[in-house]
């Protein structure tokens, strides 16, 4: 038979009743016998009744209580007691006048009661003590404590010291012997605790079934930023394809950001509204003397203007990570080479939903003595196919590459996103750097692709300060 | 990139295609993007290496080659114009070339297109008129065949375009839009270059033309001048214009005789010749084309090319400015073939990839910190002067676009305080970290350094709340370090420390000063730390 679930308190009450051998009775009495507060027992009794383990019945009855006079007598003494006390003080007798003076209005009642109880005699205007203690006090005390006053009941009532009042009281009757009831119940608990396990008491418990479909409180984990996830995925991809990671300064010489990339010094991209300069004295070019000389010659022959080393020495916030590729080339690595860099670049753009003043760019270079444009296109296609993106190539123009290509990738929405620029470095660039084998290069902005990847329409959200946005960002498994 | 606009029917007719989509597909292969704008015009984005394609005739010529409708180019019919151009002293803008284009016959559409052509040339190859500027005149209105170019004072009188009264040049510089915009380019010691015919000013290059020779619908023949600071570019731009306009049937070119110039007459209509070996193309593209195939492709790209034995004889047309060497011809071959049809292939050499030490370390740091309950934030390295000043100020951008992004952050800590400010209402504690670059002046230059920043915000937050996770991370990385009290502008005295390892300062940690918090509007205590990831990467045992 299924056991009846009870609460821990209900269980404890049954247990106490079994121990005390109490099967029922007025709740007040039961409560005092088993040492439980009466209020607690009232509610437990009702719960036990709901579970069919007990019956609670209401009994009509009466009980004695002290009147105000009775309470006063209990507190300050009965009039006859006051008289006895006075006489004892006076050595056994006192005149009626003295008694009247001391007891006032009560003097008559006191003398009358005392004589009736045989405590005093009145002779010749004097009251003499003759008897023992008055008997009514015990009866008063019994009523005050809720006990029966015995034979003095009539006197208490007739003297107006006590009265009868009607009462209702709840009587608890268990549905069986408390010990047998204990076997029919089990305690219901919401949580399994360390204490239950440590004490072994878990066996006594029944673990209430939950509404397992109910919504829990919302919790969000501490997280790695979702843009970092995307960036690190790109780094892994490049490493997987055999590329070595490199890094270059964000504050860069124009020499590496522009000149070495065959961008003429009067090229529009180098004007005030496209390039960000920093407040710093121009750097020295001494360590790049040979590079500077070749750069001057190449620019002056190629573009027909007077090349200025002062311009090349100015410091800019790099506008493209191709500056890192330029530095790599100038270090003349032995072929075959595969390098990539992923870092911040800076633009003169006003911040809006599609523009940031800085963003990440990934640049890669690849080369060896037999490297061709078809190899470059193949590598580009491979990179984006590994990202799950279809690529479309478009002929393009960049000052530092020839042939040049722009790449579009097809987003899941079907839209073609213009993403990357690429090409074989021009012979002029290779000459300036001092490299004698063909090198392919490409670069693309990470944020635009990341925003498309995550379905974010406002690029500023990638740099939110709201930690909950980051912690609650949906996960993309890639 | 330059965008030129045309009426759709004019573009489609010129190309010989039936729809804008078709035009778009052809022009995509020629580096262009095509779009219809809300005004019903077709916008063509052209790459700046093809200035000949800023003009409808140039676009049509290139597209009809790709479409295999035409090939090669023809030297225009040239005759003597009878005009003499005497070149005097114009030190601020020494070079001028000129030509006549006969029978061009302007109507309203072609006038608009011609002016668009001129403007795009100005903006790109002309470097906004500094390097090269173009004046186009109605030949019939030229007051004389004796033309002179020289510098004169600003009291020279002229009728500026759009104004039929004589004014002084100084007035033009001050009171016309072009004068204000371009008046400073060639003004030198109160003198400015002028172009005169029969003693009358017909242009004030590079600012404005004269009203006397203005173009209008109905103009039949054009007199074109090109002035500038670089002789080669001046002559080249004139070649581009003349050889593009003369693509139209019936157009002829008139030579202008020059005196005192590097050339006896212009336009030069110069054609560079190449004796190209197919291997110069094949080695770049990864193809194995025969001389005949190379010649065919170059012809469709509108070069005159023919196979001659093992080589290809190429004559580059005068309208091309972008053919500097054989690799540029190789690109033309690739474009003619089509990049997709070229057959992308994977390079067949292998290399071993690797990541930087700081990249690998950053990944470990992120795992540890997320495990310690920290969430990563990313912020820009450009910040406001106010935030940067919390860390003593940073390297300033000389020409910022927005004040809010005008300083390179010198530390991650001000940004983390800003993050705290943005998360006051979030459940506490708020625990974040950032791994990012900061920049500082160093040894006469500016260096950037990769840093790790940590921040904890709570109802109560004390030194230990940042010390414990930081020590945990450093010790797990195997870094032996020491800590000593320090003073720091952001951190409470007596509750700030430096972390030292192998004689270098790794970073700081401590409780943020209450006055800083109050100023930042943060009414919860913050504890922060910042350590150098670059230094950790060097110290952490591999």
pLDDT at res. A64: 82
CATH 3.30.930.10 fits domain B357-539: yes
pLDDT tens digits along A3-28 = 888 888 888 899 899 998 889 888 88
* Average pLDDT score over residue span B119-127: 94
Q: Over 70: is that where the pLDDT of A133 sits?
A: no
* Average pLDDT score over residue span A209-224: 93
- B318's CB contacts (< 8 A; 6+ apart) are B239, B240, B242, B243, B267, B268, B269, B270, B271
pLDDT at res. A1: 61
Nearest to B493 by CA among B474, B472, B510, B518: B510
pLDDT tens digits along B238-262 = 999 999 999 999 999 999 999 999 9
Residues of A in Cβ contact (< 8 Å) with B371: 222
Nearest to B63 by CA among B44, B85, B39: B44
Whether B347 and A403 lie within 8 Å, measured CB to CB: no
Nearest to A471 among B327, B375, B398 (CB): B375
Which CATH architecture fits A4-66+164-207? Orthogonal Bundle (1.10)
* Average pLDDT score over residue span B425-431: 96
Same fold, A4-66+164-207 and A68-161: yes
Extract the tokens encoding B137.
């005149």
* Average pLDDT score over residue span A187-191: 84
Whether A357 and B382 lie within 8 Å, measured CB to CB: yes
Query: CA Rg, chain A, in Å?
Result: 52
pLDDT tens digits along B334-361 = 999 999 999 999 998 999 999 999 999 9
Query: Of chain A residues 353-372, which have a CB less than 8 A from chain B?
Result: 356-358, 366, 368, 371-372
Q: Over 80: is that where the pLDDT of A471 sits?
A: yes
From residue B523, give the alpha-carbon distance in Å to each of A281, A365, B414, B514. Answer: 41, 50, 16, 9
- DSSP-derived secondary structure for B41-92: PEEEE--TT-GGGGSHHHHHHHHHHHTTS--S--PPPEEEEEEEEEE---TT
* Positions of E strands within A106-240: 120-123, 126-129, 162-174, 185-189, 205-207
Whether B28 and A394 lie within 8 Å, measured CB to CB: yes
pLDDT at res. A103: 80
pLDDT tens digits along B269-297 = 999 999 999 999 999 999 999 999 999 99
Between CA A17 and CA A33 the distance in angstroms is 9
Domain boundary assignment for chain A: 4-66+164-207, 68-161, 226-471
* Average pLDDT score over residue span A110-137: 78
CB atoms within 10 A of CB B172: 26
Our CA angle for A284, A285, A290, nearest 5°, is 160
Question: In the structure, what pLDDT confidence band is assigned to residue A252 with cuts at 50, 70 and 90?
Answer: very high
Nearest to B485 by CA among B468, B498, B466: B498
pLDDT tens digits along B20-65 = 999 999 999 999 999 999 999 999 999 989 999 999 999 999 999 9
* Residue B340 contacts residue B305 (beta carbons within 8 Å): no
User: How many residues does the structure list for chain A?
Assistant: 478
Question: In the structure, what pLDDT confidence band is assigned to residue A320 with cuts at 50, 70 and 90?
Answer: very high
pLDDT tens digits along A362-401 = 999 999 999 999 999 999 999 999 999 999 999 999 999 9
pLDDT at res. A276: 94
pLDDT tens digits along B507-537 = 999 999 999 999 999 999 999 999 999 999 9
Kindly state the percentage of chain A with pLDDT values over 70: 99
pLDDT tens digits along B442-489 = 887 899 999 999 999 999 999 999 999 999 999 999 999 999 999 999
Residues spanned by CATH 3.30.930.10 within chain B?
357-539
pLDDT tens digits along A29-68 = 888 889 889 889 999 999 999 988 999 988 887 888 888 8
* Residue B388 contacts residue B400 (beta carbons within 8 Å): no
From residue A186, give the alpha-carbon distance in Å to each of A14, A204, B256, B345. Answer: 11, 6, 115, 75
pLDDT at res. A199: 92
Buried b (16+ CB within 10 A) or exposed e, A30-69: bbeebebeeeebeebbeebbeeebbebeeeeeeebebbee
From residue B463, give the alpha-carbon distance in Å to each of B460, B497, B509. Answer: 10, 10, 8
Q: Over 80: is that where the pLDDT of B429 sits?
A: yes
pLDDT at res. B491: 96
Contact of A117 with chain B, judged by CB distance below 8 Å, is answered with no
Three-state SS string across B104-172, please?
A: CCCCHHHHHHHHHHHHHHHHCCCCCCCCEEEEEEEHHHCCCCEEEEEEEECCCEECECCCCCCEEHHHH
Pick the CATH number of B273-337 from 3.40.50.300, 1.10.10.60, 3.40.640.10, 3.30.56.10: 3.30.56.10
CA–CA min distance B130, chain A (Å)? 10
* Helix axes of B357-371 and B463-476: crossing angle, nearest 10 degrees: 130
Pick the CATH number of A68-161 from 3.40.50, 3.30.40, 1.10.3470, 1.10.10: 1.10.10
B527 burial level (CB within 10 Å; 0-12, 13-18, 19+): buried
Whether A373 and B284 lie within 8 Å, measured CB to CB: yes
Our CA angle for B483, B484, B489, nearest 5°, is 115
Query: CA Rg, chain B, in Å?
Result: 33
Of A190-204, A359-373, B376-390, the range with the lowest mean pLDDT is A190-204
Higher pLDDT, A439 or A154: A439
Residues of A in Cβ contact (< 8 Å) with B34: none
φ, ψ of residue B482 in degrees (nearest 5): -125, 160
From residue B134, give the alpha-carbon distance in Å to each of B117, B206, B215, B229, B416. Answer: 10, 7, 14, 13, 55
Helix (H, G, I), strand (E, B) or coil at A395: strand
Extract the tokens encoding B540.
């952490």
pLDDT at res. A134: 60
- DSSP-derived secondary structure for A15-46: HHHHHHT--EEEHHHHHHHHT--HHHHHHHHH
Cis check: omega of the bond before A160, within 30 degrees of 0: no
Whether A377 and B344 lie within 8 Å, measured CB to CB: yes
Q: What is the mean pLDDT of chain A?
A: 90
* Residue A378 contacts residue A422 (beta carbons within 8 Å): no
* Residue A320 contacts residue A443 (beta carbons within 8 Å): yes
Helix residue ranges, H only, A331-478: 373-386, 427-433, 446-454, 467-471
pLDDT at res. A327: 97
Between CA B487 and CA B105 the distance in angstroms is 80
Between CA B211 and CA B189 the distance in angstroms is 26
Between CA A438 and CA A440 the distance in angstroms is 7
Between CA B509 and CA A321 the distance in angstroms is 33
- DSSP-derived secondary structure for A127-152: EEE-S---SHHHHHHHHHTT---GGG
ipTM score assigned to the predicted complex: 0.92
A426 burial level (CB within 10 Å; 0-12, 13-18, 19+): buried
Quick one: fold of B3-66?
Answer: Phenylalanyl-tRNA Synthetase; Chain B, domain 1 (3.30.56)
Q: pTM surpassing 0.95?
A: no
Residues of A in Cβ contact (< 8 Å) with B421: 465
Whether A244 and B351 lie within 8 Å, measured CB to CB: yes
Kindly state the percentage of chain B with pLDDT values over 70: 100
Please tell me the CATH code under which domain A226-471 is placed: 3.30.930.10
Our CA angle for A13, A14, A16, nearest 5°, is 65
pLDDT tens digits along A287-302 = 999 999 999 999 999 8
Kindly state the percentage of chain A with pLDDT values over 90: 53
Whether A377 and B339 lie within 8 Å, measured CB to CB: yes
- A391's CB contacts (< 8 A; 6+ apart) are A380, A381, A384, A385, A407, A408, A409, A410
CATH class for domain B78-266?
Answer: alpha beta
Contact of A202 with chain B, judged by CB distance below 8 Å, is answered with no
Locus of tokens 């690029």: A459
Determine what percent of chain A falls in helix, strand and coil, rounding each to the nearest 5.
Answer: 45, 25, 30
pLDDT at res. B498: 97
pLDDT at res. A132: 62
Q: Which residues pair with B482 in a beta bridge?
A: B500
pLDDT tens digits along B489-508 = 999 999 999 999 998 999 99
Between CA A300 and CA B486 the distance in angstroms is 55
Whether B351 and A315 lie within 8 Å, measured CB to CB: no
pLDDT at res. B93: 96
Locus of tokens 């001050």: B174
Extract the tokens encoding B13.
């007719």
pLDDT tens digits along A84-118 = 888 888 878 888 888 888 888 888 888 888 888 87
Residues of A in Cβ contact (< 8 Å) with B423: 465-468
Between CA B33 and CA B35 the distance in angstroms is 7
Whether A378 and B233 lie within 8 Å, measured CB to CB: no
pLDDT tens digits along B124-155 = 999 999 999 999 999 999 999 999 999 999 99
Nearest to B419 among A239, A315, A465 (CB): A465
Residues of A in Cβ contact (< 8 Å) with B405: 351, 357-358
pLDDT at res. A269: 77
């Amino acid at each position: 038979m299924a056991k009846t679930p009870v609460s821990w308190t209900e269980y404890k009450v049954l247990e106490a009743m079994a121990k005390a051998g109490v099967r029922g009775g007025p709740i007040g009495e039961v409560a005092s016998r088993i040492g439980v507060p009466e209020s607690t027992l009232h509610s437990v009794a009702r719960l036990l009744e709901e579970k069919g383990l007990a019956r609670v019945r209401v009994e009509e009855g009466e009980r004695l209580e002290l009147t105000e006079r009775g309470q006063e007598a209990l507190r300050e003494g009965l009039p006859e007691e006051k008289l006895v006390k006075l006489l004892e003080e006076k050595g056994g007798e006192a005149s009626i006048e003295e008694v009247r003076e001391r007891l006032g209005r009560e003097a008559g009642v006191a003398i009358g009661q005392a004589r009736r109880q045989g405590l005093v005699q009145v002779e010749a205007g004097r009251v003499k003590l003759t008897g023992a203690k008055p008997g009514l006090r015990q009866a008063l005390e019994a009523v005050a404590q809720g006990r029966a006053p015995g034979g003095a009941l009539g006197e208490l009532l007739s003297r107006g010291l006590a009265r009868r009042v009607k009462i209702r009281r709840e009587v608890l009757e268990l549905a069986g012997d408390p010990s047998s009831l204990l076997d029919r119940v089990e305690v219901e608990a919401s949580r399994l605790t360390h204490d239950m396990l440590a004490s072994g008491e878990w066996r006594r418990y029944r673990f209430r079934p939950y509404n397992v479909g109910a919504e829990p409180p919302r919790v969000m984990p501490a997280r790695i930023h979702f843009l970092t996830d995307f960036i690190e995925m790109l780094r892994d991809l490049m490493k997987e394809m055999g590329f070595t990671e490199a890094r270059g300064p964000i504050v860069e010489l124009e020499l590496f950001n522009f000149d070495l990339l065959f961008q003429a010094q009067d090229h529009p991209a180098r004007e005030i509204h496209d390039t960000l300069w920093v407040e710093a004295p121009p750097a020295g070019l001494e360590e790049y003397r040979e590079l500077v000389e070749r750069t001057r010659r190449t620019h002056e022959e190629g573009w027909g203007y007077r090349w200025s080393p002062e311009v090349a020495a100015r410091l800019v916030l790099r506008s493209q990570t191709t500056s890192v590729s330029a530095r790599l080339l100038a270090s003349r690595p032995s072929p075959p080479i595969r390098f990539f860099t992923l870092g911040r670049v800076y633009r003169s753009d006003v911040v809006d939903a599609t523009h940031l003043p800085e963003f990440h760019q990934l640049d890669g270079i690849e080369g060896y003595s037999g490297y061709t444009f078809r190899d470059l296109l193949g590598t580009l296609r491979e990179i984006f196919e590994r990202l799950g993106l279809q690529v479309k190539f478009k002929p393009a123009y960049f000052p530092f590459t020839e042939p040049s290509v722009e790449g579009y990738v097809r987003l899941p929405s079907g839209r073609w996103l213009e993403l990357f620029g690429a090409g074989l470095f021009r012979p002029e660039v290779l000459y300036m750097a001092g490299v004698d084998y063909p090198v392919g290069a490409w670069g693309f902005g990470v944020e635009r692709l990341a925003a498309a990847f995550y379905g974010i329409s406002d690029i500023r959200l990638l740099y939110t300060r709201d930690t909950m946005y980051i912690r609650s960002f949906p996960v993309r498994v890639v | 990139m330059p965008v030129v606009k045309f009426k759709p029917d004019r573009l489609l007719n010129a190309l010989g295609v039936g729809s804008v989509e078709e035009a778009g597909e052809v022009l995509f292969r020629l580096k262009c993007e095509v779009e219809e704008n809300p005004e019903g015009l077709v916008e063509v984005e052209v790459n700046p290496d093809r200035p000949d394609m800023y003009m409808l005739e140039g676009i049509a010529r290139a597209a009809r080659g790709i479409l295999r409708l035409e090939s090669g180019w023809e030297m225009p019919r040239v005759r003597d114009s009878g005009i003499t151009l005497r070149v005097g002293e114009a030190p601020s803008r020494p070079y001028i070339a000129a030509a006549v284009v006969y029978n061009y016959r302007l109507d309203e559409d072609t006038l608009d297109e011609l002016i668009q052509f001129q403007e795009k040339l100005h903006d790109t190859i002309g470097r906004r008129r500094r390097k090269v500027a173009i004046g186009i005149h109605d030949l019939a209105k030229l007051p004389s065949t004796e033309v002179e170019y020289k510098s004169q004072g600003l009291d020279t009188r002229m009728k500026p375009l759009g104004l039929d009264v004589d004014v002084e040049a100084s007035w033009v510089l001050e009171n016309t839009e072009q004068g204000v915009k371009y008046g400073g380019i060639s003004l030198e010691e109160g003198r400015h270059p002028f172009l005169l015919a029969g003693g009358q000013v017909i242009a004030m290059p590079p600012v404005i033309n004269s009203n006397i020779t203005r173009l209008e619908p109905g103009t039949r023949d054009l007199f074109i001048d090109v002035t500038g600071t670089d002789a080669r570019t001046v002559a080249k731009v004139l070649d581009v214009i003349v050889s593009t306009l003369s693509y139209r049937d019936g157009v002829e070119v008139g030579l202008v005789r020059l005196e005192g110039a590097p050339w006896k007459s212009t336009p030069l209509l110069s054609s560079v010749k190449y004796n190209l070996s197919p291997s110069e193309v094949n080695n770049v593209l990864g193809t194995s084309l025969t001389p005949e195939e190379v010649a065919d492709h170059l012809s469709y790209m509108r070069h005159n090319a023919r196979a001659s034995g093992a080589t290809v004889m190429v004559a580059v047309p005068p309208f091309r400015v972008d053919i500097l060497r054989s690799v540029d011809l190789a690109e033309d071959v690739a474009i003619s073939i089509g990049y997709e049809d070229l057959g992308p292939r994977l390079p067949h050499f292998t290399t071993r990839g690797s990541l930087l030490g700081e990249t690998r370390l950053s990944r470990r740091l992120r795992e540890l910190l997320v495990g310690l309950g920290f969430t990563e934030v990313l912020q820009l390295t450009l910040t406001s002067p106010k935030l940067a000043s919390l860390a003593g100020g940073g390297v300033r951008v000389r020409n910022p676009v927005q004040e809010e992004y005008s300083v390179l952050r010198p530390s991650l800590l001000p940004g983390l305080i800003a993050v705290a400010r943005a998360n006051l209402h979030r459940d506490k504690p708020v625990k974040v970290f950032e791994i990012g670059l900061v920049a500082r002046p160093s040894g006469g230059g500016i260096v950037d350094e990769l840093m790790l920043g940590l921040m904890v915000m709570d109802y109560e937050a004390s030194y230990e709340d940042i010390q414990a996770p930081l020590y945990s991370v450093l010790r797990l990385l195997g870094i032996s370090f020491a800590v000593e009290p320090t003073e720091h502008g952001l951190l409470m005295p007596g509750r700030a420390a430096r972390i030292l390892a192998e004689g270098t300062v790794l970073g700081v940690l401590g409780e943020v000063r209450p006055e800083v918090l109050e100023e930042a509007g943060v009414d919860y205590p913050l504890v922060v730390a910042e350590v150098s990831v670059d230094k950790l990467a060097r110290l952490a045992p591999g």
